[in-house]
Chains A and B, each alone.
Chain A
């Protein structure tokens, strides 16, 4: 496998394209918007140059990676590759439409992967005629830094497809964990109580948010739940909570907390608005 297409040049797509190019793959980055593509390219170049300056990326590898990365707004140009990684917005209809179009454009051997964090791999795969060559590759933000990739097997993913995907993840220098196609996969699911219990404790007046953060950091968590939610964005955290709650048919353990909704509806979204559970001065 040496040619890869990344569909969607947002934060995750750009990050995946960058690490793939640095690992020596030929990478085509696709987006419907020229503007988004050029912003992504600038971001990738800046990030690679910073890596070189910090001694983390060899000058030669940086040069090769920049040449290996091309941009396109044509799905037909992106399709003739060995692996397509879709990193489009988290909407089922949009993703299915992309895979449906790719099905007729890509060669038979091309493996399709989705970077979805919440949608079912089986449902996405059903938009194609190649469910054996379909799987999930869930990267974590920022993809340039985070070492983990959740490799999600659909019911029909073949061993050959899985082996190829694992080889790709290994070549990126990342660690793969194998995961069944279940709601929120591993990390986003197992982490639910970290946020859920923190909101409960706050709502019960067990302690204030600063104390809860301080206590959990004392155990070695790098960030407390409320600092982390401010970083992720209260809106994004609330959306993930709601999505897990919905796809589990309202399993009560995943029920969102009224504090989450109140924060989002008051526009206190965290760092990005300068105010969440904490205040952020310019």
Chain B
């Protein structure tokens, strides 16, 4: 079985590793390479015999659409297409591609674990057969499938991105330093990571994309991304992957 994984760090590496460990033949594309590859033609050949394609691009709905359309055009007609339902709902993502019934949404939050859980969601167009295929694929990856209702961020990424957003607002207002906000949440609320270091790990572009997706879906103020988050993304201070986010990451760290 061949799996094509395309999108952003650290999602691509994380999911790619799980697929490789499970014995799949895996092709990884970081989004910038994939777009170049599509333009030059050789990605088509690589994806043309894939059984499963996994999209992991959540910087914005537009960027996600572009990648999904490229992926859908490159893979076989009957391949399963898994979309990370962070920046949009599964239904919205499925609506952008031909044969939307083969699209299943999923949700993961880095850091991914080897015996973890994956949220799965059917879009309004998703067929039962596709959902069943996604369930058995998740089990092969040693990820416990948990079915949830569709929507941007599903359950976990929605909660975590909202925590990061609130922490970013507090930081912007000078309530405390980034280090103290993270320390407070770990020691005072037993969080596994401070929200700001977690944001740096996930990638602030993905966090902003998820919040924007929630904001557009619900039209409610509670999901409005913190201006600080917007500015950091504009300045390409995206966290670990660019070497700078709420914290600095020396090269090679």
Stretch at the interface among B25-33, B60-68, B177-185, B240-248: B177-185
Stretch at the interface among A76-84, A119-127, A208-216, A234-242: A208-216
CB-defined contacts of B180 to chain A, threshold 8 Å? 177-179, 186
Which of B146, B166, B175, B192 is A179 in contact with, Cβ under 8 Å?
B175
Is B100 interfacial (CB 8 A cutoff)?
no
Stretch at the interface among A2-10, A60-68, A93-101, A140-148: A140-148
Stretch at the interface among A31-39, A47-55, A217-225: A217-225
Stretch at the interface among B12-20, B129-137, B154-162: B154-162
A219 and B163 within 8 A (CB): no
CB-defined contacts of B228 to chain A, threshold 8 Å? none
Is B40 interfacial (CB 8 A cutoff)?
no
A148 and B160 within 8 A (CB): no
Decide yes or no: A201 and B158 within 8 Å by CB, A186-B185, A190-B181, A190-B184 being known contacts.
Answer: yes
> Which residues of B (134-164) have their CB < 8 Å from a CB of A?
144, 146, 148-149, 151, 154-156, 158-160, 162-163
> Which residues of A (128-171) have their CB < 8 Å from a CB of B?
140, 146-148, 150
B153 to chain A, nearest CB (A): 9
Which residue of A has the minimal Cβ distance to B155? A215
B192 and A220 within 8 A (CB): yes
Is B195 interfacial (CB 8 A cutoff)?
yes
A198 to chain B, nearest CB (A): 7
A206 and B187 within 8 A (CB): no
A189 and B175 within 8 A (CB): yes
Bound CA–CA A230/B84 (angstroms)? 32
A211 and B148 within 8 A (CB): yes
Which of B159, B170, B176, B193 is A197 in contact with, Cβ under 8 Å?
B159
Decide yes or no: A219 and B162 within 8 Å by CB, A177-B184, A190-B167 being known contacts.
Answer: no
B90 to chain A, nearest CB (A): 13
Bound CA–CA A277/B159 (angstroms)? 19
Decide yes or no: A186 and B222 within 8 Å by CB, A150-B184, A214-B117, A215-B146 being known contacts.
Answer: no
B185 and A218 within 8 A (CB): no
A252 and B222 within 8 A (CB): yes
The interface size bin for chain B is 35 or more
Is B235 interfacial (CB 8 A cutoff)?
no
Which residue of B has the minimal Cβ distance to A185? B175
CB-defined contacts of A191 to chain B, threshold 8 Å? 163, 185, 189
Decide yes or no: A148 and B155 within 8 Å by CB, A178-B176, A193-B165, A253-B221 being known contacts.
Answer: no
B158 and A218 within 8 A (CB): no
A207 and B155 within 8 A (CB): yes
B170 and A204 within 8 A (CB): no
B149 and A207 within 8 A (CB): yes
B199 to chain A, nearest CB (A): 12
Which of B175, B220, B224 is A180 in contact with, Cβ under 8 Å?
B175
Is A280 interfacial (CB 8 A cutoff)?
no
Which of A175, A194, A206 is B149 in contact with, Cβ under 8 Å?
A206
CB-defined contacts of A218 to chain B, threshold 8 Å? 113, 116-117, 144, 156
* 18 A–B contacts from the bound complex (CB under 8 Å): A177-B181, A179-B180, A189-B170, A190-B163, A191-B189, A193-B162, A194-B163, A201-B155, A204-B151, A205-B149, A206-B155, A207-B148, A207-B149, A215-B155, A216-B155, A218-B113, A218-B144, A252-B221
Give A residues with C-beta under 8 Å from B.
140, 146-148, 150, 175, 177-180, 182, 185-187, 189-194, 196-198, 201, 204-207, 211-212, 214-216, 218-223, 225, 251-253, 255
Please provide the 7 A-B residue pairs with the shortest distance between their CB atoms, ordered closest to farther. A220-B192, A193-B162, A253-B222, A148-B187, A177-B180, A187-B188, A148-B188
A193-B166, A205-B149 known; 10 new pairs, CB 8 Å cut-off, are: A175-B187, A186-B181, A190-B166, A194-B189, A196-B162, A206-B155, A215-B119, A219-B109, A253-B166, A253-B222
